[in-house]
Amino acid sequence: MRRRHTVTRLLATATLALPLTLPAAPAAAATPTTAPTRQLTDVIPAPTETHPDPRGTFTLGPLTVIRTSPGSTAARQVGRQLADTLRPATGYPLPVLPVRSTPLPEIALLLGGADARVGQQGYQLDVTRRGVTIRANTADGLFAGTQTLRQLLPAQIEAPTRQRATWAVPGGRIVDVPRFAYRGAMLDLARHFHTVDEIKAYVDLISQYKINYLHLHLTDDQGWRIQIDSWPRLTTVGGGPGTGVDGVGPGYLTKADYKAVVAYAAARHITIIPEIDMPGHTNAAQSTYAELNCDKVAPPPRTDTAVGYSSLCIDDELTYRFVEDVIRELAEMTPGPYLHIGGDEAHATTDEDYRTFVQRVLQLVSKYGKRAYGWNEIMQADPPTDAIAQYWGTGTTNADLAEAAARGNKVVMSPANKAYLDMKYDRSTPLGLSWAAYIEVRDAYEWDPAQRVTGVGENAVLGVEAPLWSETLRTLDDIEFMAFPRLPAIAELGWSTAASHDWESFRTRLGAQAPRWRLQDVNFYPSPQVPWI
């Protein structure tokens, strides 16, 4: 990870070692009436309901404790993470206490007792002079509430230096519940590998905006990036030296790396979805193992960005042994419910072969206890209704998708001309592609996931996802430049009500995120459409 994370860690640890020597309270912290610099509505994604109470300002001080539901390790874990976030900037000890009550000013994280509407992912946040109370039915909901609280505090909370600030939180109540259960981001590790530390840094950034799924595109024509013990050369050769666009490999996740990413994401309430792209986008595997080709001749490795030329051998039983081995090993190391089987741009596979192949692979996914997920093309194979389609098209009609939605399949919306973070902002953007569109911030924000494709309405939409393909992206700085500020736009489409959708409000709230990103060292694109602070 980059320097900023190490520094944050060190400071958090150093602060932890000091619980007995309370730092002197900044003068302002003793004055709870100080007006907060922020309002309850200054949050991305926009909360469902806010009820400000100007008399209720709470000011975080040296005596504040974080109190969590007694007996809940999950709530305590969220409390510890909140403490880790708040200690470096404030210098306050913020002990985490699983007790019923305390006489001290508190941030309470409580399971149960929330507004009936909060469901499995939402929360209720109350701010009074005495403290902050976040109530939810799940630890996911509590975590979401703490991300809101973080944005309600001054931006200096993001800096590991102890800048003087009045840590005031605006008074009142928020009741917040997501419009869609699925809010995703995707990283492409195949075209350019991204390291464990880079993935973790991205997890940190996206979890602030209540993204709850991270899809990892692990294999493609240019590289294979996940260890599979029964086919060991996939990584040593397929992910080895010279792999990736322009041959900048090597790189792959060992099983231990993958599990570390899964655990790190889970601690930030993000579920990892692994993707093995097939029957096309398979040249890395087929150039490594000659037997995966119909003619048993291995094609050369590819480091260019062409698509649609590779296909597994559909009539060969060995293909299904390979696929089953991969799915079995992947299912074993993946606690989340979904396995993504790709299925896009299989131009080198006939339509009939494609259906045959996808139907067999779908059965393998359920054999190993997982739910299948694929690019929208898999709907051509009339999968069972528990399979999920990820729509990446640029148009507003798709007959296969509408039919699948009518049968009951759920759809994740990732229209390439709106949600693809690898598209350039405009002609002058130095990174990215432009085949689907130029996507400025307003374009990324101004669409409705439930009105995008005819016949795929609110009930058929599971959520949204912002994919980031990495043909042109190598470093974490590159990733950040394309994801910020568009990722928060997609996050808001996934979380906030359709009625709250408002570009003027969004651009103002987005502009106010800039001080946080500067302190977090995020390399964001300073779009001229946004009034940056």
Catalytic positions are: 345
Q: Is the Cβ of residue 106 or residue 277 nearer to ligand TNX in the bound state?
A: 277
- The torsion defined by the Cα of 498, 484, 149 and 216, in degrees rounded to 10, comes to 90
The span from the CA of 388 to the CA of 384, in Å, is: 9
- Interface mask toward ligand TNX for 254-293; x: CB under 6 A: ----------------------------------------
Task: Return the number of the residue (231 or 392) whose C-beta is nearest ligand TNX.
Answer: 392
Distance CA 350, CA 335 (A): 34
Contact, 78 vs 139, CB < 8 A?
yes
Nearer to ligand TNX among residue 165 and residue 372 (C-beta): 372
Instruction: Give the interface size with ligand TNX as a residue count (CB under 6 A).
Output: 11
| Minimum distance from residue 344 beta carbon to ligand TNX (Å) | 3
Half-sphere exposure of 284 (CA within 13 A, CB side): 39
Residue 370-389 contact track with ligand TNX, rule CB under 6 A, x = bound:
-----x--------------
Between 209 and 392, name the residue whose CB sits nearer to ligand TNX: 392
Phi, psi of 529 (to 5 degrees): -80, -10
> 28: which strand partners?
none
Whether the Cβ atoms of residue 178 and residue 40 lie closer than 8 Å to each other: no
Task: Rank residues 465 and 471 by Cβ distance to ligand TNX and give the closer one.
Answer: 471
Of the pair 329, 478, the CB lying nearest ligand TNX is at 478
Q: Considering the rule CB under 6 A, would residue 433 count as an interface residue with ligand TNX?
A: yes
8 A C-beta contact, residue 343 and residue 362 = no
Q: Using alpha carbons, select from 388, 298, 407 the residue that is nearest to residue 336.
A: 388
- DSSP state string for 202-217: HHHHHHTTT--EEEEE
Site for ligand TNX contains 392 (CB under 6 A): yes
Compute the least distance from the CB of residue 386 to ligand TNX, in Å. 21
Q: Enumerate residues 338-357 that contact ligand TNX by CB under 6 A.
A: 344-345
Residue 478 near ligand TNX by CB under 6 A: no
Question: Of 298, 307, 333, 437, which lies in the binding site for ligand TNX, with binding defined by CB under 6 A?
Answer: 307
CB of 56 to ligand TNX, least distance (A): 47
Q: What radius of gyration do the chain's Cα atoms show?
A: 24
Q: Give which of 391, 363, 359 is closest to 375, Cα–Cα.
A: 391
Q: Is the peptide bond before 54 cis (omega within 30 degrees of 0)?
A: no
E-only strand ranges, 69-119? 96-97, 106-111
Rounded distance, CA 285 to CA 224, Å?
A: 7
Give the nearest distance from C-beta 242 to ligand TNX in angstroms: 19
CB of 307 to ligand TNX, least distance (A): 5
* Smallest distance, ligand TNX to C-beta of residue 355, A: 18
The CB-of-79 to ligand TNX minimum distance in angstroms stands at 40
| For ligand TNX, the closer CB: 422 or 480 | 422
**Residue 493 φ/ψ, nearest 5 degrees:** -60, -35
Tell me how far apart the alpha carbons of residues 301 and 283 are, in angstroms, rounded to a whole number: 7
Taking CB under 6 A as the rule, which mask of x and - marks residues 410-429 in contact with ligand TNX? ------x---x-x-------
Spatial CA neighbour of 276 closest among 218, 335, 190, 195? 218
Is there binding between residue 446 and ligand TNX (CB under 6 A)? no
Interface residues with ligand TNX (CB under 6 A)?
Answer: 307, 344-345, 375, 392, 416, 420, 422, 433, 469, 471
